[in-house]
């Protein structure tokens, strides 16, 4: 399953957010949460879905609004190993080792402080293990909204999860009650794997095209210790410079002939930027480097 399955459930449950006569905001959010949980239980049966789930023994008293874990009978034994999976009652249950991806769904107002606080508390419960977590913040526009702030902290959260496990995800789903529409906000900045002749040159995937350029050029200098600055420019052309300059080149940790090497940064900001990136990747391929995007 993926985020699109969650969005279908949110869209199906959206009528429950309509304000009933005399009902409080808390009441119709509760009805929406119940409807979404029921939808997931009925339509995504490989997972066990529960509301108000205590995770990892209920430390700090926090509960996930909706928690989905793969059912034991849907998992595949790998190499005879087993893991401990936390159950909704806070007890551990031994089950077969699998991809072990779990879903945490939190329902809150469209407020940056709620997004940040909820994610931090859930991360403390989930721990920093190499577990695949799909975190979904479903945000409703009942109060004064701060979508920009939510996106800002959502991007931070997504990056943190990716650095823990590259397969983990963080998604923002915004529910507009009045217009009865559901929007998925794209937070997924690309991460990159860089290899030279098939071997990775970075310990873990890195974020951003500019950082890729830095890593490749620094690695190239390390592999060609006698290269002159003129020769480096002959190889990389406009992708290197001796100063930040008007194009705001990125300072690296490498110097040649007392010249600090700077690398290109304007991959997406100018006309023809995508062509610049494609040309850089092609050049890297010719030099033995492979650059692959992962999300």
Residue 30: both structure tokens together: 């509760």
Average pLDDT value for the chain = 81
> Which residue, among 149, 159, 251, 151, has the nearest Cα to 208 in the 3D structure?
159
Model confidence band, residue 274 (pLDDT cutoffs 50, 70, 90): low
H helix runs in 129-261, sequence order? 147-164, 209-223, 229-236
> Looking at 9-23, 46-60, 232-246, which range is the least confident one?
46-60
* Residue 273: per-residue pLDDT: 54
Q: pTM above the 0.85 mark? A: no
Pairwise CA distance, residues 170 & 156, whole Å: 9
Pairwise CA distance, residues 287 & 221, whole Å: 12
> Domains along the chain?
3-185 (3.40.1350), 191-294 (no CATH)
> Looking at 5-14, 21-30, 73-82, 224-233, which range is the least confident one?
73-82
Q: Inform me whether the pLDDT recorded for 215 exceeds 70.
A: yes
Residue 138: both structure tokens together: 């479903």
Model confidence band, residue 139 (pLDDT cutoffs 50, 70, 90): very high
Asked whether the beta carbons of 50 and 88 are under 8 A apart, the reply is: yes
């Amino acid at each position: 399953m993926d985020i699109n399955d969650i969005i279908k459930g949110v869209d199906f449950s959206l009528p429950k957010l309509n304000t009933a006569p005399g009902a409080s905001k808390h009441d119709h959010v509760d009805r929406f949460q119940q409807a979404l949980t029921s939808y997931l239980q009925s339509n995504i049966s490989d997972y066990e879905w529960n509301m108000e789930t205590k995770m990892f023994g209920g430390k700090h008293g926090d509960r996930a609004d909706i928690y989905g874990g793969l059912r034991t009978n849907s998992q595949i034994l790998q190499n005879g190993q087993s893991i401990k999976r936390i159950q909704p009652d806070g007890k551990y249950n031994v089950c077969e080792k699998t991809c072990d991806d779990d879903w945490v769904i939190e329902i809150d107002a469209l407020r940056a402080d709620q997004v940040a606080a909820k994610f931090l508390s859930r991360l403390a419960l989930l721990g920093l293990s190499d577990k695949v977590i799909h975190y979904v913040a479903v945000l409703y526009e009942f109060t004064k909204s701060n979508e920009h702030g939510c996106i800002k902290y959502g991007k931070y959260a997504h990056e943190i999860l990716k650095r823990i496990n590259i397969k983990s995800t963080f998604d923002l789903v915004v529910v507009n009650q009045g217009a009865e529409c559901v929007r998925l906000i794209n937070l997924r900045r690309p991460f990159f794997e860089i290899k030279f002749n098939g071997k990775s040159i970075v310990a873990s995937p890195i974020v951003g095209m500019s950082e890729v350029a830095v890593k490749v050029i620094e690695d190239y200098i390390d592999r060609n210790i006698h290269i002159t600055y003129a020769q480096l420019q002959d190889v990389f052309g406009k992708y290197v410079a001796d100063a930040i300059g008007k194009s705001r080149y990125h300072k690296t940790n490498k110097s040649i002939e007392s010249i600090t090497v700077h690398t290109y940064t304007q991959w997406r900001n100018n006309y023809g930027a995508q062509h610049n990136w494609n040309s850089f990747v092609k050049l890297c391929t010719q030099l033995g480097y492979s650059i692959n995007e992962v999300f």
